[in-house]
């Protein structure tokens, strides 16, 4: 119950990693705003969480690449639960399968808007709420090993995730004086591929532990980074990749 009486926002909370994170926060006592553009997935997740604990979850439909939508989302969370203590910037899309020679400019901008701009916008407006409350807070951004190394089958996604790592450090340096910690958790090929609901049975993974990551692996790490157990951790990145970044060639 590390999050008893705390309020958490989880973007992309309707499936895969975001859903697992929302489940973990509810299990540990938090009230959770499940933010998703897809109302079917978002409401289904909230219905499940409400069965586990009544009053624990609320769905907010939101385009996290839109400033006005993000501001409305934060205001709705505050109206529903009374504040914001934790923000998890999880949502992302990818441009898988396209090199710089083939990637259209519109797709580049869309990937950057949803994967990177959303982190800026949600951190800005949830961060303002945390500052106004005066009780500190935690922001956890979901990174990717793609942000550490270039890929031959993605362009905008790698660029966006690399930027998320350094944006996190900047946010940590700016918000630390307000008692707000900002960190990243970096997975590799966890659950279904980015933007998809089903994980291919033949999905190739190479790491040091010989198994694929599951969403709960990331939820465990996020819960730690958002909790008081990590109270002196900020501007850091927690790799939860089975050692794939350092123990295997890029795939």
Q: Are 162 and 148 in contact (CB under 8 A)?
A: yes
Q: Which helix (H) or strand (E) holds 140?
A: strand 137-142
Looking at the domain assignment, is residue 210 inside a domain? yes
Q: Is residue 1 part of a domain?
A: no
pTM across the whole model: 0.94
CATH number at residue 135: 3.40.50.720
Q: How confident is the model at residue 206 (pLDDT cuts 50, 70, 90)?
A: confident
User: Is residue 149, in this structure, part of any structural domain at all?
Assistant: yes
User: Collapsing DSSP states into helix, strand and coil, what is residue 11?
Assistant: strand
Structural domain includes residue 30: yes
Would you place residue 247 in the very low, low, confident or very high pLDDT band (cuts 50, 70, 90)?
confident
What is the number of structural domains in the chain? 1
Are the C-beta atoms of 153 and 196 separated by less than 8 Å?
no
pLDDT recorded at residue 4: 97
Residue 106 has what pLDDT? Answer: 97
Q: What does the block give as tokens for 139?
A: 């922001």
* Residue 2 within any structural domain of the chain: no
Tell me what the mean pLDDT of segment 56-71 comes to.
98
* Paired residues of 36 in beta bridges: 61
Pairwise CA distance, residues 152 & 204, whole Å: 16
Q: What is the pLDDT of residues 165-201, one digit of tens each?
A: 999 999 999 999 999 999 999 999 886 556 556 555 6
| pLDDT tens, residue by residue, 109-118 | 999 999 999 9
Q: Is residue 100 part of a domain?
A: yes
Show the domain range for 180.
Answer: 7-247
CA–CA distance, 2 with 28 (Å, rounded to integer): 6
Buried b (16+ CB within 10 A) or exposed e, 145-170: bbbbeebeebbbbbbbbbbbbebbbe
- 232 inside domain: yes
Among this protein's residues, is 246 annotated catalytic? no
Work out the number of other CB atoms within 10 angstroms of the CB of residue 194.
23
* Structural domain includes residue 135: yes
Instruction: Give me the catalytic one of 125, 148, 157, 246.
Output: 157
pLDDT of residue 127: 98
């Amino acid at each position: 119950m590390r999050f008893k009486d705390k309020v958490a926002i989880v973007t992309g909370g309707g499936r895969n990693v975001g859903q697992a994170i929302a489940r973990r926060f509810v299990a540990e006592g938090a009230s959770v705003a499940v933010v998703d553009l897809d109302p079917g997935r978002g409401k289904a997740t909230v219905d499940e969480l409400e069965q586990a604990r009544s009053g624990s979850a609320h769905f907010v439909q939101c385009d996290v690449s839109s400033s006005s939508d993000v501001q409305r989302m934060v205001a709705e969370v505050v109206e529903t639960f009374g504040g914001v203590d934790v923000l998890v910037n999880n949502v992302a899309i990818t441009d898988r399968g396209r090199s710089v020679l083939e990637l259209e400019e519109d797709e580049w901008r869309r990937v950057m808007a949803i994967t990177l701009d959303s982190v800026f916008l949600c951190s800005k407006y949830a961060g303002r709420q945390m500052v106004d409350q005066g009780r500190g807070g935690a922001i956890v951004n979901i990174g990717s090993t793609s942000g550490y190394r270039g890929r031959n089958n993605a362009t905008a996604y790698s660029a966006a995730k690399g930027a998320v790592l350094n944006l996190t450090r900047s946010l940590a340096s700016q918000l630390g004086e307000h008692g707000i910690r900002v960190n990243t958790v970096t997975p590799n090929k966890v659950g279904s591929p980015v933007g998809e609901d089903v994980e291919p049975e033949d999905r190739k993974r190479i790491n040091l532990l010989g198994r694929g990551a599951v969403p709960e692996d990331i939820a465990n790490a996020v819960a730690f980074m958002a909790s008081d157990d990590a109270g002196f951790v900020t501007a850091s990145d927690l790799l939860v990749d089975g050692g794939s970044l350092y123990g295997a060639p890029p795939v």
